Amino acid sequence: MSEFVDLTEDFKTSKTIAVSYTKRDLLLYALGIGETDLRFTYEDSDDFSVFPTFPIVLPFTGTENDVAGFPSEAMAEGAVMPGLPGTKFLLDGERYLEIVRPLPAEASEFRMTSRLVGVHKKGKGALVESESVIEDANGVAYVRMRSGAFLVGANGFKDSGKSYSVAVPVPKREPDVIDESTTSPAQAMLYRLSGDYNPLHIDPNMAAMNGFSEPILHGLCTFGFAARAVLKHCADNDATRFHSIRVRFAKPVLPGQTLQTRMWRESNGTRIVFEVVVKETGSIVVNNAEVILKPKAAL
């Protein structure tokens, strides 16, 4: 008998769930990441648009339009996480989101298909990577997302599949631009209304059980703050220029802390390398990060 877990069936299996959203969902998400531009916060704006990182919440919500449990029904139905022996807990390690074509800024229904793409040894555990594609009823792709989860303590497996995890070092010069945004003490309370109802982000008792002095901010909220900073300073808040974003989460953020997004323009301004630092502590909380922008349209 093999001493390793057989992941053959895990790699063959995919899960498809229905996902949908309303204009109200788009507005609430934008507010949850600190957005104030009317293009993303006012439904009657002439150029009202979906904020590019909004799709990151759809695996949490599915078609739910009310408060959901955690994990939600959509999370349970769409999960492709393999069971690895020794796993103590899971950390959200890396994220990638690519806009294949812009989502409509109207209430819409799609389907999301997820599959396991890689399981690799990393430190004292495993980096488990999955990919989700959001498509319409005709199979036309709109969004591609990849998630890298770190399973602490996982063992008894062989490296399998493909890894999309890459190093993104910051340039050895001062940032070209720094955005400073102070999160609200209630930031996690607001962001959770977009679908991630993990009690770690609101319940002091749950936070203490996980070793935190108080509830922490959602990593994906920090992700949204960073994307907002890049789009604002490097693309004139033009959502049509956004192609993709990748990040690695390094440390947690507390609601009320100030986020400094430090940006370096590369490749004639179409590749923005960035990191996020908590001003009060100097800690880097997001690294290995970049946004790829489409070139500005010629006038």
Q: Catalytic residue among 216, 218, 224, 245, which?
A: 216
Phi-psi region of 211 (alpha: psi -120 to 50; beta: other; left: phi over 0): left
Whether 62 is catalytic is: no
Cβ count within 10 A of residue 31 = 16
Q: Which of 196, 218, 224, 233 is catalytic?
A: 196
Question: Is-contact 183 177, C-beta < 8 A?
Answer: no
Rounded CA separation 99/273 (Å): 18
> What angle is formed at CA 226 by the lines to CA 224 and CA 229, rounded to 5 degrees?
110
Helix axes of 23-32 and 219-235: crossing angle, nearest 10 degrees: 90
Q: What token pair was written down for 20?
A: 């949908």
- Of 32, 148, 219, 224, the catalytic one is 219
Residue the block writes with tokens 């720094």: 178
* Residue 216 annotated as catalytic: yes
In single-letter form, the type of residue at position 91 comes to L
* Other CB atoms within 10 Å distance of the CB of residue 178: 14
Q: How far apart are CA 40 and CA 239, in angstroms?
A: 9
Q: How far apart are CA 185 and CA 95, in angstroms?
A: 25
Can 176 be counted among the known catalytic residues? no
Q: Are 57 and 100 in contact (CB under 8 A)?
A: no
219 is catalytic: yes
Query: Of residues 201, 218, 224, 272, which has the active-site annotation?
Result: 201
Asked if 188 contacts 217 with a C-beta cutoff of 8 angstroms, the reply is yes
Q: Which residues pair with 152 in a beta bridge?
A: 89, 125
Beta-bridge mates of residue 160: 119
Residues belonging to the active site: 196, 201, 216, 219
